[in-house]
Structure 1
Protein backbone atom coordinates (compact mmCIF):
# COMPACT_ATOMS: atom_id res chain seq x y z
CA UNK A 1 0.00 0.00 0.00
CA UNK A 2 2.80 2.42 0.97
CA UNK A 3 4.71 1.54 -2.19
CA UNK A 4 1.63 2.19 -4.32
CA UNK A 5 1.11 5.59 -2.66
CA UNK A 6 4.74 6.50 -3.38
CA UNK A 7 4.26 5.53 -7.03
CA UNK A 8 1.10 7.63 -7.25
CA UNK A 9 2.85 10.62 -5.66
CA UNK A 10 5.64 10.24 -8.21
CA UNK A 11 3.12 10.18 -11.04
CA UNK A 12 1.43 13.31 -9.64
CA UNK A 13 4.82 14.99 -9.89
CA UNK A 14 5.14 13.70 -13.45
CA UNK A 15 1.74 15.12 -14.37
CA UNK A 16 3.01 18.57 -13.46
CA UNK A 17 5.25 18.29 -16.53
CA UNK A 18 2.27 18.79 -18.83
CA UNK A 19 1.59 22.28 -20.11
CA UNK A 20 -1.75 21.66 -21.79
CA UNK A 21 -4.71 23.64 -20.52
CA UNK A 22 -7.60 21.85 -18.84
CA UNK A 23 -11.08 23.25 -19.16
CA UNK A 24 -13.88 22.07 -16.87
CA UNK A 25 -11.94 18.91 -16.01
CA UNK A 26 -14.30 17.72 -13.31
CA UNK A 27 -17.24 17.65 -15.72
CA UNK A 28 -15.49 15.19 -18.04
CA UNK A 29 -15.71 11.43 -17.78
CA UNK A 30 -13.23 9.30 -19.73
CA UNK A 31 -13.54 5.61 -20.61
CA UNK A 32 -10.36 3.53 -20.50
CA UNK A 33 -10.56 0.18 -22.24
CA UNK A 34 -8.37 -2.28 -20.27
CA UNK A 35 -7.78 0.00 -17.29
CA UNK A 36 -6.08 -2.87 -15.44
CA UNK A 37 -3.28 -3.29 -17.98
CA UNK A 38 0.26 -2.12 -17.30
CA UNK A 39 -0.06 1.04 -19.39
CA UNK A 40 -3.84 1.36 -19.06
CA UNK A 41 -3.57 1.56 -15.27
CA UNK A 42 -1.05 4.40 -15.48
CA UNK A 43 -3.29 6.27 -17.92
CA UNK A 44 -6.17 5.75 -15.49
CA UNK A 45 -4.12 7.07 -12.58
CA UNK A 46 -2.95 10.09 -14.58
CA UNK A 47 -6.56 10.95 -15.46
CA UNK A 48 -7.71 10.56 -11.84
CA UNK A 49 -4.91 12.76 -10.53
CA UNK A 50 -5.82 15.47 -13.02
CA UNK A 51 -9.42 15.46 -11.82
CA UNK A 52 -11.16 13.39 -14.48
CA UNK A 53 -13.75 10.77 -13.64
CA UNK A 54 -12.90 7.42 -15.21
CA UNK A 55 -14.99 4.45 -16.29
CA UNK A 56 -12.50 1.64 -16.75
CA UNK A 57 -13.21 -1.72 -18.34
CA UNK A 58 -11.92 -5.11 -17.22
CA UNK A 59 -12.72 -8.52 -18.70
CA UNK A 60 -13.33 -10.19 -15.34
CA UNK A 61 -15.99 -9.27 -12.80
CA UNK A 62 -15.53 -5.81 -11.31
CA UNK A 63 -15.20 -7.26 -7.81
CA UNK A 64 -12.74 -9.99 -8.83
CA UNK A 65 -9.76 -10.19 -6.47
CA UNK A 66 -7.43 -9.92 -9.49
CA UNK A 67 -8.39 -6.26 -9.98
CA UNK A 68 -8.97 -5.26 -6.35
CA UNK A 69 -5.79 -3.16 -6.49
CA UNK A 70 -7.54 -0.71 -8.82
CA UNK A 71 -9.41 0.62 -5.78
CA UNK A 72 -6.09 1.96 -4.49
CA UNK A 73 -5.67 4.34 -7.45
CA UNK A 74 -6.35 7.74 -5.97
CA UNK A 75 -6.84 11.21 -7.36
CA UNK A 76 -9.21 14.15 -7.52
CA UNK A 77 -11.46 12.20 -9.88
CA UNK A 78 -13.43 9.02 -9.26
CA UNK A 79 -12.94 5.57 -10.80
CA UNK A 80 -15.79 3.25 -11.72
CA UNK A 81 -14.58 -0.23 -12.67
CA UNK A 82 -16.93 -1.84 -15.19
CA UNK A 83 -16.57 -5.60 -15.24
CA UNK A 84 -17.19 -8.34 -17.79
CA UNK A 85 -16.41 -6.12 -20.76
CA UNK A 86 -15.26 -8.15 -23.76
CA UNK A 87 -14.07 -5.71 -26.45
CA UNK A 88 -14.45 -8.43 -29.08
CA UNK A 89 -18.22 -8.10 -28.58
CA UNK A 90 -19.60 -4.71 -29.57
CA UNK A 91 -22.66 -4.86 -27.32
CA UNK A 92 -20.35 -5.41 -24.35
CA UNK A 93 -18.75 -1.97 -24.68
CA UNK A 94 -21.69 0.40 -24.32
CA UNK A 95 -21.85 -0.02 -20.55
CA UNK A 96 -18.35 1.42 -20.16
CA UNK A 97 -18.39 4.00 -22.98
CA UNK A 98 -21.90 5.41 -22.44
CA UNK A 99 -21.78 8.76 -20.69
CA UNK A 100 -18.11 9.45 -21.45
CA UNK A 101 -16.74 12.28 -23.55
CA UNK A 102 -13.36 10.76 -24.35
CA UNK A 103 -12.05 7.20 -24.72
CA UNK A 104 -8.62 5.57 -24.44
CA UNK A 105 -8.06 2.18 -26.08
CA UNK A 106 -5.27 0.49 -24.12
CA UNK A 107 -6.28 -3.10 -24.86
CA UNK A 108 -4.21 -5.72 -26.62
CA UNK A 109 -3.12 -9.35 -26.64
CA UNK A 110 -0.10 -10.39 -24.61
CA UNK A 111 1.37 -12.99 -26.96
CA UNK A 112 3.30 -11.26 -29.80
CA UNK A 113 3.53 -14.53 -31.74
CA UNK A 114 -0.24 -14.94 -31.91
CA UNK A 115 -1.12 -15.18 -35.66
CA UNK A 116 -4.76 -14.12 -35.18
CA UNK A 117 -3.82 -10.94 -33.34
CA UNK A 118 -4.17 -8.61 -36.38
CA UNK A 119 -7.77 -9.64 -37.07
CA UNK A 120 -8.70 -9.55 -33.39
CA UNK A 121 -7.20 -6.08 -32.89
CA UNK A 122 -9.10 -4.77 -35.93
CA UNK A 123 -12.32 -6.25 -34.55
CA UNK A 124 -11.65 -4.82 -31.09
CA UNK A 125 -10.87 -1.37 -32.50
CA UNK A 126 -13.91 -1.45 -34.78
CA UNK A 127 -16.18 -2.36 -31.88
CA UNK A 128 -14.82 0.40 -29.65
CA UNK A 129 -15.10 3.00 -32.41
CA UNK A 130 -18.69 1.94 -33.20
CA UNK A 131 -19.62 2.28 -29.54
CA UNK A 132 -17.89 5.66 -29.40
CA UNK A 133 -19.91 6.83 -32.40
CA UNK A 134 -23.16 5.56 -30.88
CA UNK A 135 -22.40 7.28 -27.57
CA UNK A 136 -21.19 10.54 -29.16
CA UNK A 137 -17.64 10.36 -27.83
CA UNK A 138 -15.64 13.37 -29.02
CA UNK A 139 -12.05 12.07 -28.93
CA UNK A 140 -10.26 8.70 -28.90
CA UNK A 141 -6.62 7.96 -28.13
CA UNK A 142 -5.23 4.60 -29.21
CA UNK A 143 -2.14 2.96 -27.70
CA UNK A 144 -0.09 1.53 -30.57
CA UNK A 145 3.64 1.12 -31.23
CA UNK A 146 6.64 2.48 -33.12
CA UNK A 147 6.27 -0.77 -35.05
CA UNK A 148 3.68 1.08 -37.14
CA UNK A 149 6.29 3.61 -38.33
CA UNK A 150 8.74 1.39 -40.23
CA UNK A 151 8.53 2.07 -43.98
CA UNK A 152 9.44 -0.92 -46.22
CA UNK A 153 11.98 1.25 -48.05
CA UNK A 154 14.17 1.30 -44.94
CA UNK A 155 14.80 3.56 -42.01
CA UNK A 156 14.76 7.28 -42.89
CA UNK A 157 17.24 9.84 -41.57
CA UNK A 158 14.54 11.07 -39.18
CA UNK A 159 11.30 9.23 -38.51
CA UNK A 160 8.18 11.39 -38.76
CA UNK A 161 4.78 10.27 -37.53
CA UNK A 162 2.77 11.51 -40.49
CA UNK A 163 5.21 10.43 -43.20
CA UNK A 164 6.47 6.95 -42.34
CA UNK A 165 4.14 3.96 -42.27
CA UNK A 166 4.65 0.21 -41.98
CA UNK A 167 3.28 -2.26 -44.51
CA UNK A 168 0.97 -4.67 -42.64
CA UNK A 169 1.17 -7.32 -45.37
CA UNK A 170 4.96 -7.34 -45.12
CA UNK A 171 4.73 -7.47 -41.33
CA UNK A 172 2.37 -10.43 -41.52
CA UNK A 173 4.66 -12.27 -43.95
CA UNK A 174 7.56 -11.66 -41.56
CA UNK A 175 5.40 -13.05 -38.72
CA UNK A 176 5.55 -9.72 -36.89
CA UNK A 177 1.96 -10.17 -35.77
CA UNK A 178 2.08 -7.64 -32.94
CA UNK A 179 3.31 -4.84 -35.20
CA UNK A 180 0.88 -5.87 -37.94
CA UNK A 181 -1.99 -5.74 -35.43
CA UNK A 182 -1.07 -2.24 -34.29
CA UNK A 183 -0.64 -1.00 -37.87
CA UNK A 184 -4.09 -2.27 -38.87
CA UNK A 185 -5.67 -0.99 -35.64
CA UNK A 186 -4.36 2.50 -36.38
CA UNK A 187 -5.75 2.41 -39.92
CA UNK A 188 -9.12 1.26 -38.62
CA UNK A 189 -9.34 3.90 -35.89
CA UNK A 190 -8.31 6.77 -38.15
CA UNK A 191 -10.69 5.77 -40.95
CA UNK A 192 -13.64 5.31 -38.62
CA UNK A 193 -12.80 8.53 -36.81
CA UNK A 194 -12.96 10.47 -40.08
CA UNK A 195 -16.28 8.86 -40.97
CA UNK A 196 -17.78 9.53 -37.52
CA UNK A 197 -16.31 12.98 -36.88
CA UNK A 198 -14.34 11.68 -33.88
CA UNK A 199 -10.89 13.15 -33.26
CA UNK A 200 -8.45 10.23 -33.13
CA UNK A 201 -4.85 10.20 -31.94
CA UNK A 202 -2.41 7.30 -31.58
CA UNK A 203 0.56 7.19 -29.22
CA UNK A 204 3.43 5.01 -30.47
CA UNK A 205 5.89 3.73 -27.85
CA UNK A 206 8.64 1.13 -28.00
CA UNK A 207 10.17 -0.15 -24.72
CA UNK A 208 8.11 1.07 -21.75
CA UNK A 209 9.66 0.93 -18.28
CA UNK A 210 8.43 1.86 -14.82
CA UNK A 211 6.44 0.67 -11.80
CA UNK A 212 3.68 -1.93 -12.02
CA UNK A 213 0.71 -0.44 -10.18
CA UNK A 214 -0.74 -3.95 -9.86
CA UNK A 215 2.24 -5.02 -7.75
CA UNK A 216 3.14 -7.77 -10.23
CA UNK A 217 6.78 -8.50 -10.94
CA UNK A 218 8.05 -7.11 -14.25
CA UNK A 219 9.34 -9.51 -16.88
CA UNK A 220 10.83 -7.41 -19.69
CA UNK A 221 14.24 -7.83 -21.30
CA UNK A 222 15.84 -5.26 -18.98
CA UNK A 223 14.72 -7.24 -15.92
CA UNK A 224 16.03 -10.48 -17.39
CA UNK A 225 19.41 -8.86 -18.02
CA UNK A 226 19.61 -7.46 -14.49
CA UNK A 227 18.66 -10.75 -12.84
CA UNK A 228 21.03 -12.76 -15.03
CA UNK A 229 18.18 -14.76 -16.55
CA UNK A 230 19.29 -13.45 -19.91
CA UNK A 231 22.92 -12.90 -20.88
CA UNK A 232 24.44 -11.21 -23.90
CA UNK A 233 27.35 -13.36 -25.08
CA UNK A 234 28.07 -10.50 -27.42
CA UNK A 235 26.55 -7.06 -27.64
CA UNK A 236 23.73 -6.78 -30.19
CA UNK A 237 24.60 -4.23 -32.84
CA UNK A 238 21.30 -2.43 -32.66
CA UNK A 239 19.37 0.10 -30.61
CA UNK A 240 16.17 0.53 -28.61
CA UNK A 241 13.88 3.46 -27.83
CA UNK A 242 12.52 3.91 -24.31
CA UNK A 243 9.99 5.89 -22.29
CA UNK A 244 8.94 5.98 -18.64
CA UNK A 245 5.41 4.60 -18.25
CA UNK A 246 4.23 7.73 -16.40
CA UNK A 247 5.42 9.96 -19.24
CA UNK A 248 3.68 7.69 -21.74
CA UNK A 249 0.45 8.00 -19.75
CA UNK A 250 0.83 11.79 -19.69
CA UNK A 251 1.15 11.81 -23.51
CA UNK A 252 -2.15 9.93 -23.82
CA UNK A 253 -3.94 12.38 -21.53
CA UNK A 254 -2.40 15.39 -23.27
CA UNK A 255 -3.63 14.07 -26.63
CA UNK A 256 -7.16 13.93 -25.20
CA UNK A 257 -6.93 17.44 -23.76
CA UNK A 258 -5.43 19.16 -26.79
CA UNK A 259 -8.26 19.86 -29.22
CA UNK A 260 -5.75 20.17 -32.06
CA UNK A 261 -4.13 16.79 -31.40
CA UNK A 262 -4.81 14.37 -34.22
CA UNK A 263 -2.93 11.51 -35.87
CA UNK A 264 0.14 9.74 -34.55
CA UNK A 265 2.61 10.88 -31.89
CA UNK A 266 5.85 9.15 -30.97
CA UNK A 267 5.75 7.65 -27.49
CA UNK A 268 9.52 7.61 -26.98
CA UNK A 269 11.61 10.03 -24.93
CA UNK A 270 14.69 10.45 -27.15
CA UNK A 271 16.45 8.97 -30.16
CA UNK A 272 17.08 5.28 -29.64
CA UNK A 273 20.07 4.16 -27.58
CA UNK A 274 22.61 1.61 -28.79
CA UNK A 275 22.52 -1.61 -26.78
CA UNK A 276 26.16 -1.10 -25.77
CA UNK A 277 25.13 2.17 -24.08
CA UNK A 278 22.06 0.53 -22.54
CA UNK A 279 24.32 -2.09 -20.95
CA UNK A 280 26.71 0.58 -19.66
CA UNK A 281 23.93 2.59 -17.97
CA UNK A 282 22.47 -0.54 -16.41
CA UNK A 283 25.88 -1.67 -15.11
CA UNK A 284 26.55 1.80 -13.66
CA UNK A 285 23.37 1.41 -11.63
CA UNK A 286 23.59 -2.34 -10.96
CA UNK A 287 27.30 -3.30 -10.86
CA UNK A 288 26.66 -7.06 -10.67
CA UNK A 289 25.29 -7.02 -14.22
CA UNK A 290 27.41 -9.09 -16.57
CA UNK A 291 27.94 -6.58 -19.34
CA UNK A 292 28.64 -7.95 -22.82
CA UNK A 293 32.14 -7.67 -24.29
CA UNK A 294 32.83 -4.52 -26.34
CA UNK A 295 31.21 -4.42 -29.74
CA UNK A 296 33.38 -5.55 -32.62
CA UNK A 297 33.23 -3.46 -35.75
CA UNK A 298 31.30 -0.30 -36.49
CA UNK A 299 28.08 0.55 -34.67
CA UNK A 300 24.87 0.76 -36.64
CA UNK A 301 23.22 4.17 -36.70
CA UNK A 302 20.59 4.53 -33.99
CA UNK A 303 17.02 5.48 -34.89
CA UNK A 304 16.43 9.22 -35.00
CA UNK A 305 13.00 10.75 -34.44
CA UNK A 306 11.58 14.14 -35.36
CA UNK A 307 9.99 15.25 -32.07
CA UNK A 308 8.36 18.40 -33.45
CA UNK A 309 4.85 16.97 -33.29
CA UNK A 310 5.28 15.24 -29.93
CA UNK A 311 6.39 18.54 -28.38
CA UNK A 312 3.02 20.12 -29.26
CA UNK A 313 1.50 17.93 -26.52
CA UNK A 314 3.52 19.80 -23.90
CA UNK A 315 4.80 16.74 -22.02
CA UNK A 316 8.41 16.80 -20.84
CA UNK A 317 9.70 13.23 -20.93
CA UNK A 318 12.65 12.25 -18.75
CA UNK A 319 15.78 11.16 -20.69
CA UNK A 320 16.62 7.52 -21.36
CA UNK A 321 19.45 7.46 -18.82
CA UNK A 322 17.01 8.57 -16.10
CA UNK A 323 14.36 6.07 -17.23
CA UNK A 324 16.84 3.19 -16.87
CA UNK A 325 18.26 4.49 -13.57
CA UNK A 326 14.80 4.91 -12.02
CA UNK A 327 13.79 1.45 -13.22
CA UNK A 328 16.73 -0.15 -11.41
CA UNK A 329 15.92 1.90 -8.28
CA UNK A 330 12.28 0.79 -8.46
CA UNK A 331 13.23 -2.88 -8.64
CA UNK A 332 15.62 -2.50 -5.71
CA UNK A 333 12.97 -0.69 -3.64
CA UNK A 334 10.43 -3.47 -4.23
CA UNK A 335 12.93 -6.20 -3.37
CA UNK A 336 12.83 -7.67 -6.87
CA UNK A 337 16.55 -6.94 -7.14
CA UNK A 338 18.44 -7.69 -3.94
CA UNK A 339 21.71 -6.02 -3.04
CA UNK A 340 24.34 -8.42 -1.74
Structure 2
Protein backbone atom coordinates (compact mmCIF):
# COMPACT_ATOMS: atom_id res chain seq x y z
CA UNK A 1 0.00 0.00 0.00
CA UNK A 2 2.85 2.39 0.85
CA UNK A 3 5.34 1.82 -1.97
CA UNK A 4 2.96 2.31 -4.93
CA UNK A 5 1.44 5.35 -3.22
CA UNK A 6 4.79 7.08 -2.83
CA UNK A 7 6.39 6.02 -6.13
CA UNK A 8 3.19 6.65 -8.10
CA UNK A 9 2.83 10.10 -6.55
CA UNK A 10 6.40 11.07 -7.39
CA UNK A 11 5.97 9.83 -10.96
CA UNK A 12 2.91 12.04 -11.47
CA UNK A 13 4.63 15.14 -10.08
CA UNK A 14 7.67 14.50 -12.29
CA UNK A 15 5.41 14.05 -15.33
CA UNK A 16 3.54 17.25 -14.45
CA UNK A 17 6.81 19.16 -14.23
CA UNK A 18 8.00 17.81 -17.57
CA UNK A 19 4.66 18.69 -19.21
CA UNK A 20 4.79 22.16 -17.63
CA UNK A 21 1.22 21.91 -16.32
CA UNK A 22 -0.25 25.02 -14.76
CA UNK A 23 -1.20 23.42 -11.45
CA UNK A 24 -1.50 20.01 -9.82
CA UNK A 25 -4.43 19.36 -7.48
CA UNK A 26 -3.32 16.41 -5.37
CA UNK A 27 -6.05 14.22 -3.86
CA UNK A 28 -4.84 13.21 -0.42
CA UNK A 29 -7.06 12.06 2.46
CA UNK A 30 -8.21 12.78 5.99
CA UNK A 31 -6.05 9.73 6.73
CA UNK A 32 -3.01 11.96 6.30
CA UNK A 33 -4.45 14.48 8.77
CA UNK A 34 -6.22 13.20 11.86
CA UNK A 35 -4.54 9.99 13.07
CA UNK A 36 -2.78 11.47 16.09
CA UNK A 37 -3.27 10.07 19.61
CA UNK A 38 -1.62 13.12 21.17
CA UNK A 39 -4.13 15.64 19.84
CA UNK A 40 -6.48 17.03 22.47
CA UNK A 41 -10.16 16.03 22.07
CA UNK A 42 -10.96 19.76 22.09
CA UNK A 43 -8.44 20.62 19.37
CA UNK A 44 -9.76 21.65 15.96
CA UNK A 45 -8.62 19.39 13.12
CA UNK A 46 -7.47 21.56 10.23
CA UNK A 47 -4.90 21.72 7.44
CA UNK A 48 -2.00 22.13 9.87
CA UNK A 49 -2.58 18.64 11.32
CA UNK A 50 -0.64 15.56 10.20
CA UNK A 51 -1.11 11.93 11.14
CA UNK A 52 1.52 10.55 13.51
CA UNK A 53 3.58 8.16 11.37
CA UNK A 54 4.95 6.16 14.31
CA UNK A 55 1.46 5.69 15.72
CA UNK A 56 0.21 4.55 12.29
CA UNK A 57 3.05 2.02 12.05
CA UNK A 58 2.60 0.74 15.59
CA UNK A 59 -1.14 0.23 15.04
CA UNK A 60 -0.54 -1.19 11.52
CA UNK A 61 -2.77 1.48 10.03
CA UNK A 62 -1.09 1.28 6.64
CA UNK A 63 -3.86 3.19 4.89
CA UNK A 64 -3.31 6.36 6.91
CA UNK A 65 0.45 5.85 6.91
CA UNK A 66 0.45 5.47 3.12
CA UNK A 67 -1.70 8.57 2.61
CA UNK A 68 0.53 10.68 4.87
CA UNK A 69 3.87 9.64 3.36
CA UNK A 70 2.46 9.92 -0.19
CA UNK A 71 1.30 13.48 0.44
CA UNK A 72 4.61 14.38 2.06
CA UNK A 73 6.44 12.94 -0.95
CA UNK A 74 4.21 14.99 -3.26
CA UNK A 75 5.02 18.22 -1.44
CA UNK A 76 8.75 17.48 -1.47
CA UNK A 77 8.77 16.55 -5.17
CA UNK A 78 6.61 19.55 -6.13
CA UNK A 79 8.93 21.93 -4.29
CA UNK A 80 12.02 20.38 -5.85
CA UNK A 81 10.53 20.46 -9.38
CA UNK A 82 8.89 23.87 -9.08
CA UNK A 83 5.37 22.50 -9.54
CA UNK A 84 2.45 24.63 -8.34
CA UNK A 85 0.56 22.12 -6.20
CA UNK A 86 -2.40 22.28 -3.86
CA UNK A 87 -3.72 19.31 -1.87
CA UNK A 88 -7.26 18.35 -0.96
CA UNK A 89 -7.93 16.08 2.02
CA UNK A 90 -11.43 14.57 1.77
CA UNK A 91 -13.08 12.62 4.58
CA UNK A 92 -15.30 9.59 3.92
CA UNK A 93 -17.04 10.28 0.59
CA UNK A 94 -20.75 9.52 0.11
CA UNK A 95 -23.24 10.04 -2.70
CA UNK A 96 -24.01 8.52 -6.11
CA UNK A 97 -21.63 5.85 -7.40
CA UNK A 98 -20.08 6.21 -10.85
CA UNK A 99 -18.92 2.60 -10.99
CA UNK A 100 -21.22 -0.47 -10.87
CA UNK A 101 -19.35 -2.01 -7.93
CA UNK A 102 -19.47 -0.93 -4.29
CA UNK A 103 -16.36 0.65 -2.79
CA UNK A 104 -15.16 0.60 0.81
CA UNK A 105 -16.74 3.96 1.67
CA UNK A 106 -20.18 2.90 0.48
CA UNK A 107 -20.01 -0.51 2.21
CA UNK A 108 -19.88 1.55 5.38
CA UNK A 109 -23.51 2.56 4.65
CA UNK A 110 -24.67 -0.53 2.74
CA UNK A 111 -24.17 -2.83 5.75
CA UNK A 112 -26.83 -0.89 7.66
CA UNK A 113 -29.38 -1.45 4.87
CA UNK A 114 -28.91 -5.16 4.20
CA UNK A 115 -29.20 -6.46 7.75
CA UNK A 116 -25.58 -7.65 7.80
CA UNK A 117 -24.87 -5.18 10.62
CA UNK A 118 -27.04 -5.94 13.63
CA UNK A 119 -25.57 -3.11 15.70
CA UNK A 120 -23.71 0.15 15.07
CA UNK A 121 -20.32 1.05 16.53
CA UNK A 122 -19.73 3.58 19.28
CA UNK A 123 -17.56 5.73 17.02
CA UNK A 124 -17.65 8.85 14.88
CA UNK A 125 -16.91 9.53 11.22
CA UNK A 126 -16.59 12.64 9.07
CA UNK A 127 -18.54 12.73 5.78
CA UNK A 128 -18.67 14.73 2.56
CA UNK A 129 -20.73 14.52 -0.65
CA UNK A 130 -18.85 13.25 -3.72
CA UNK A 131 -20.07 16.19 -5.80
CA UNK A 132 -18.54 18.59 -3.26
CA UNK A 133 -15.22 16.77 -3.55
CA UNK A 134 -15.35 17.05 -7.34
CA UNK A 135 -16.24 20.74 -7.22
CA UNK A 136 -13.49 21.38 -4.67
CA UNK A 137 -10.93 20.03 -7.15
CA UNK A 138 -12.19 22.42 -9.84
CA UNK A 139 -12.22 25.42 -7.49
CA UNK A 140 -8.68 24.71 -6.30
CA UNK A 141 -7.48 24.35 -9.88
CA UNK A 142 -9.16 27.52 -11.09
CA UNK A 143 -8.47 29.81 -8.10
CA UNK A 144 -5.02 31.36 -8.62
CA UNK A 145 -4.66 32.29 -4.93
CA UNK A 146 -5.27 28.72 -3.72
CA UNK A 147 -2.27 27.20 -1.96
CA UNK A 148 -1.41 24.53 0.58
CA UNK A 149 -3.86 21.98 1.93
CA UNK A 150 -7.68 22.00 2.05
CA UNK A 151 -9.74 19.84 4.40
CA UNK A 152 -12.90 18.65 2.59
CA UNK A 153 -15.52 17.71 5.21
CA UNK A 154 -19.13 18.63 5.87
CA UNK A 155 -20.06 16.93 9.15
CA UNK A 156 -18.81 14.56 11.81
CA UNK A 157 -21.52 12.17 12.96
CA UNK A 158 -21.75 9.41 15.51
CA UNK A 159 -22.80 6.10 13.95
CA UNK A 160 -26.00 6.38 15.96
CA UNK A 161 -26.85 9.62 14.14
CA UNK A 162 -26.14 7.95 10.79
CA UNK A 163 -28.57 5.10 11.40
CA UNK A 164 -31.20 7.54 12.71
CA UNK A 165 -31.02 9.53 9.46
CA UNK A 166 -31.17 6.37 7.36
CA UNK A 167 -34.14 5.04 9.34
CA UNK A 168 -36.01 8.32 8.92
CA UNK A 169 -35.69 8.31 5.13
CA UNK A 170 -35.76 4.55 4.54
CA UNK A 171 -37.70 2.83 7.37
CA UNK A 172 -38.33 -0.26 5.18
CA UNK A 173 -34.76 -1.48 5.60
CA UNK A 174 -33.49 -3.47 8.64
CA UNK A 175 -31.43 -0.59 10.01
CA UNK A 176 -29.88 -1.38 13.42
CA UNK A 177 -31.09 0.48 16.49
CA UNK A 178 -28.66 -0.90 19.06
CA UNK A 179 -25.07 0.20 19.74
CA UNK A 180 -22.44 -2.54 19.93
CA UNK A 181 -20.85 -0.79 22.93
CA UNK A 182 -23.29 0.53 25.51
CA UNK A 183 -20.80 0.46 28.38
CA UNK A 184 -18.40 3.23 27.36
CA UNK A 185 -19.66 6.82 27.05
CA UNK A 186 -20.92 7.79 23.60
CA UNK A 187 -17.99 8.90 21.44
CA UNK A 188 -17.98 12.64 20.78
CA UNK A 189 -17.55 14.09 17.27
CA UNK A 190 -14.22 15.84 16.78
CA UNK A 191 -14.07 19.50 15.80
CA UNK A 192 -12.79 20.45 12.37
CA UNK A 193 -12.47 23.47 10.12
CA UNK A 194 -13.49 23.51 6.46
CA UNK A 195 -13.24 27.29 6.26
CA UNK A 196 -10.45 27.31 3.66
CA UNK A 197 -12.67 25.59 1.08
CA UNK A 198 -15.59 27.86 1.96
CA UNK A 199 -13.29 30.81 1.33
CA UNK A 200 -12.75 29.72 -2.27
CA UNK A 201 -16.51 29.44 -2.81
CA UNK A 202 -17.51 25.88 -1.90
CA UNK A 203 -20.97 25.48 -0.38
CA UNK A 204 -21.14 22.06 1.25
CA UNK A 205 -24.08 19.72 0.71
CA UNK A 206 -25.73 18.68 4.02
CA UNK A 207 -24.75 15.20 5.14
CA UNK A 208 -28.43 14.14 5.22
CA UNK A 209 -28.60 14.73 1.46
CA UNK A 210 -25.37 12.78 0.96
CA UNK A 211 -26.80 9.80 2.85
CA UNK A 212 -30.09 10.01 0.92
CA UNK A 213 -28.28 10.18 -2.44
CA UNK A 214 -26.11 7.21 -1.46
CA UNK A 215 -29.10 4.97 -0.77
CA UNK A 216 -30.95 6.06 -3.92
CA UNK A 217 -27.83 5.22 -5.96
CA UNK A 218 -27.55 1.80 -4.31
CA UNK A 219 -31.18 1.17 -5.25
CA UNK A 220 -30.67 2.30 -8.85
CA UNK A 221 -27.63 0.06 -9.29
CA UNK A 222 -29.41 -2.97 -7.82
CA UNK A 223 -27.31 -3.34 -4.65
CA UNK A 224 -30.42 -3.15 -2.46
CA UNK A 225 -34.07 -3.81 -3.32
CA UNK A 226 -36.38 -0.86 -3.89
CA UNK A 227 -39.10 -0.89 -1.19
CA UNK A 228 -42.55 -1.73 -2.57
CA UNK A 229 -46.12 -1.53 -1.36
CA UNK A 230 -48.79 -3.57 -3.11
CA UNK A 231 -46.26 -4.30 -5.81
CA UNK A 232 -45.51 -0.64 -6.51
CA UNK A 233 -42.25 1.20 -5.60
CA UNK A 234 -42.52 3.43 -2.57
CA UNK A 235 -41.49 7.01 -3.37
CA UNK A 236 -39.61 8.44 -0.44
CA UNK A 237 -39.28 12.20 -0.20
CA UNK A 238 -35.91 13.77 -0.90
CA UNK A 239 -33.59 14.89 1.84
Q: Cα deviation per residue 1:42-78 (whole Å; 9 max; x = unaligned)?
A: xxxxxxxxxxxxxxxxxxxxxxxxxxxxxxxxxxxxx
Alignment RMSD, CA only? 1.9
CA gap of 1:240–1:137, structure 2 versus 1, over 3 A, is same
Cα distance in 1 for partners of 2:145, 2:57 equals 33
Instruction: Note if contact 1:285-1:328 (Cα within 8 Å) is conserved in structure 2.
Output: no
Consecutive unaligned residues in structure 2, runs of 5 or more: 229-239
Please state how far the C-alpha of 1:227 moved relative to its aligned partner: 1.3
TM-score (norm 1): 0.60
Cα distance in 2 for partners of 1:230, 1:197 equals 49
TM-score (norm 2): 0.84
Instruction: Note if contact 1:149-1:166 (Cα within 8 Å) is conserved in structure 2.
Output: yes
Instruction: Note if contact 2:128-2:154 (Cα within 8 Å) is conserved in structure 1.
Output: yes
Matched, 1:282 2:169: no
Instruction: Note if contact 1:280-1:291 (Cα within 8 Å) is conserved in structure 2.
Output: no
Question: What residue number does 1:159 align with?
Answer: 45
Matched, 1:137 2:21: yes
CA gap of 1:277–1:259, structure 2 versus 1, over 3 A, is same
Instruction: Note if contact 2:89-2:151 (Cα within 8 Å) is conserved in structure 1.
Output: yes
Cα distance in 2 for partners of 1:307, 1:217 equals 27
Question: What residue number does 2:8 align with?
Answer: 124
Cα distance in 2 for partners of 1:282, 1:290 equals 7
How many residues get paired?
A: 220
Q: Cα deviation per residue 1:278-303 (whole Å; 9 max; x = unaligned)?
A: 11001112212232326735322201
Given the alignment, which residue of 164, 170, 194 partners 2:79? 194
Given the alignment, which residue of 199, 204, 212 partners 1:317? 204
Question: What residue number does 1:243 align with?
Answer: 128
Given the alignment, which residue of 213, 216, 236 partners 1:329? 216
Instruction: Note if contact 2:152-2:194 (Cα within 8 Å) is conserved in structure 1.
Output: no
Question: What residue number does 1:175 align with?
Answer: 60
Instruction: Note if contact 2:97-2:214 (Cα within 8 Å) is conserved in structure 1.
Output: no
Cα distance in 2 for partners of 1:317, 1:308 equals 11
CA gap of 1:231–1:201, structure 2 versus 1, over 3 A, is farther
